[in-house]
Amino acid sequence: MTPSRRAFAAIVGKDLRTELRTMRSLPAMVLFAVTTFIIFRFGLDRTALSGSLASGVVWTTLLFAAVLGINRIFLPEREEGGFDAFRLAPVDRPVLFAAKATVLFLYLLVLELIVVPVFAVFFLQEWSGLVPLVVILAATNLGFAALGTLISSMAVNSRARDLLVPLLLLPLVVPLMIAATSATAPLLEAAGPSYDKFGTWLLVLGLYDGIFCLVGYAVFDFLLED
């Protein structure tokens, strides 16, 4: 195994083990999402959702829960001097970006595995659209992961870091949200899923993911410089 791959595996392993042991981010994200669903039930005065309304509710909730997690992704590095340790190691800097993005992707995956079934139980009458939804979730998670890691690494070293992440992230994820919600809405129709423009939106998601993974990987060197 090359040093890069070893470092990658080490960072991912460390973060996942820490999360399992301390449960710092995930429970909060899940609770936040479920509570938000309850608020939507009362705010919208509806007990069943379908189509674009369902799509909007679930994606908005996932977005804000994701922001909670993104805020915290570099906290261990900042608090325990991990940045310095990483700078000293003979590893390519972008490996940290890839590792953290992978961790964030996995967090989001776990979040969705818990939250989306809850959403289905709360609001959906037709569940067959959930299977193709997994594809959309994965593609959107990748975009979140890349962009979230990039923004978080910049915000973690600044003042007002909790405010900075939502501030910078939200405008940047608008195209991602447009693609995700537009692809999801036909899947959650009460009459059963339709695949209207599914492929097109998936392509947009792929393009977005590709661009921001590349951008993040390319500029991360400069972000770690002291």
Partner 1 sequence: MSGRGIRQLSIATALVLFAGFALVFFWVPMDADQGFKQKIFYLHVPLAIVALAGFIAGGVEGYRHLRSDDRRHDANSYVFIHLSIIFGVAVLITGALWAKASWGHYWVWNEPTLVSFLIVFLLYCTYYPFRYAIEDRDRQARYASVFAITAGAFVPLNFMAVRMADSLIHPRVFATSDGGLPGSMMFTFLVCLAGIALLWVTLVKLELLGKQTSGQVSRLRRALEAEGLGGGQEATGTVGRRIAPNLEAQ
* Residues binding partner 1 (CB under 8 A): 150, 154-155, 157-161, 164, 167-168, 171-172, 174-175, 178-179, 182, 200-201, 204, 207-208, 211-212, 215, 219, 222-223, 225-226
Q: Rounded distance, CA 67 to CA 165, Å?
A: 7
Nearer to partner 1, 114 or 177 (CB): 177
CA terminus-to-terminus distance, the chain: 29
Least gap, CB of 100 to partner 1 (angstroms): 15
Least gap, CB of 167 to partner 1 (angstroms): 5
Nearer to partner 1, 133 or 147 (CB): 147
Q: Which of 198, 191, 184, 197 is nearest to 54 (CA)?
A: 184
Least gap, CB of 12 to partner 1 (angstroms): 23
Nearer to partner 1, 23 or 203 (CB): 203
| Burial environment of residue 103 by CB neighbours within 10 A (0 to 12, 13 to 18, 19 or more) | buried
Nearer to partner 1, 41 or 161 (CB): 161
Nearer to partner 1, 75 or 219 (CB): 219
Q: Rounded distance, CA 99 to CA 82, Å?
A: 13
Least gap, CB of 21 to partner 1 (angstroms): 32
User: What are the backbone dihedrals phi and psi of residue 110, each rounded to the nearest 5 degrees, phi first?
Assistant: -65, -45
Least gap, CB of 218 to partner 1 (angstroms): 8
